[in-house]
Structure 1
C-alpha cells in the first residue's frame, strides 16, 4: 500500500482531475491519499498574520485546511472515500477502495507533531506512511525535478518540502519519491520507480 500526497499547489492545475481519475482507478486497495492545504492553508497564514493568533491555533486551522482540500478532491472524484482515522483508512482499503485522509481528529492532540509551520502536509504524509507501514510514499507536486535522486535537505533549501520533513523522513524506512504533477498522462503509478525522483535522507 502506498501513501500518495497530492500537493495543494495542484488546486490551480489542469492536471488535478487526471490525477484523481488515475488514483480512483488504481488497483483496488493500493493507495491512501493525503491532501495538501492549498489556498485553504494560505488563508490560515493570512489570518495568523492579520490577527496574530498562536502557532497551535494556526496549526489546528491548517489541519482543517487539509480537510477542506480533501473534501474538494472527493467532490471532484466521488469514487474516492473520506477517512478521519487510521481505522477508517484500513476499513476503506479492505473494501478495495481508495481513502482520502482527513487528519484533524487524529492529529490535534498528537504530542509527536510540532504545532507550528515547520510541519506541513508533507511531513504529515511521512508520519502517516510510518504509522500505516506503507511500502512507498509519493509526493505529487507542481515543482519540476529532473534529477533521478535528490537529498531531502536540498528540497528543504529550495522550499519544496517543510523544515521538519528531514526529521520525519529519518524516522521511517519507507522509500520516498517526488513526481512532477504535469507528468500524469505518461505515468502508470506502478512504474513510479523509473519516473519519479527518489528522495534520500542525509
Structure 2
C-alpha cells in the first residue's frame, strides 16, 4: 500500500486533474491520496496572523479543514476516488480495488495535544498516516524548484521539506520519494516499479 501526498500548491494548477487521473487509473487497490490544504490553508494562516489567537488549537483545526476542503476538491475533479475517513475505511476501499482519498477529520481536536503544535504539516500528517497503515512507500508531490536526485535530508536543508519531517522520516521503515509535479512519467514509472526510490535519509 502506498500513500501519495499531493501538495496544496497544485490546487489551482492544471496538472492536478492529471495527477488525480493517474492515481485513479494506476492506484486502485494500493494508493491512498493525502491532499495539502494549499490556498485553503493559506486563508487559515492569514486569519490566524490577523487575529493572533492565543493558542494553536483553532489554527490546527482550520488547517485540518483546509486539507478536507482540498480532498473534496480532488473528489470533484476525479469522482472515481473514494473518500476514506478512517484507517479501516482506507483498507476497505483498497480491498474493493479503488483509490482511497484521505479525509482527515479524525485529526480535529477539542483540546491541545502533540498534534496541534505548529510543527505539524500536511507532509508530516501523510508520513504519520503511512506509518499507521504500514505503507510500503510514501511519495510527496511538490511543485517548487528542487533537485530530483536530492535526498530527504538535502530537501529539508533547502526548505522543500520541514525539518520536523526529516527527523521523523529517519525512523520509518519504508522508502520516501519526492516527485516534482511536472514529472508525471516518473510517478507512473514508480507505480510500475521501473525505478528505484530515494529512501528516507
Question: Do they superpose with TM above 0.5?
Answer: yes
Give SS of 2:3's match.
strand
Count of residue correspondences? 199
Give the structure 2 partner of residue 140 of structure 1: 141
Give the structure 2 partner of residue 80 of structure 1: 81
Give the structure 2 partner of residue 66 of structure 1: 67
| Pairing 1:93–2:79 present | no
- Following superposition, which runs of at least 4 residues in structure 1 exceed 6 angstroms of deviation? 109-112
CA contact (8 A) 1:84 1:103 kept: yes
Deviation at 1:147, TM superposition (A): 4.4
Deviation at 1:117, TM superposition (A): 2.6
CA contact (8 A) 1:24 1:98 kept: yes
Q: Which runs of 5+ in 2 are unaligned?
A: none
| Cα distance change on mapping 1:149 and 1:163 into 2, 3 Å | closer
Q: What RMSD over aligned residues (CA atoms) do the two structures have, in Å?
A: 2.3
1:148 and 1:186 map into 2 onto residues whose CA distance is 12
1:171 and 1:56 map into 2 onto residues whose CA distance is 27
2:111 and 2:175 map into 1 onto residues whose CA distance is 24
1:43-58 mapped onto 2 (5 Å cutoff): 43-53=43-53, 54-58=55-59
Give the structure 2 partner of residue 34 of structure 1: 34
1:112 and 1:177 map into 2 onto residues whose CA distance is 29
CA contact (8 A) 2:64 2:104 kept: yes
1:76 and 1:9 map into 2 onto residues whose CA distance is 16
Deviates more, 1:66-75 or 1:104-113: 104-113
Q: Which runs of 5+ in 1 are unaligned?
A: none
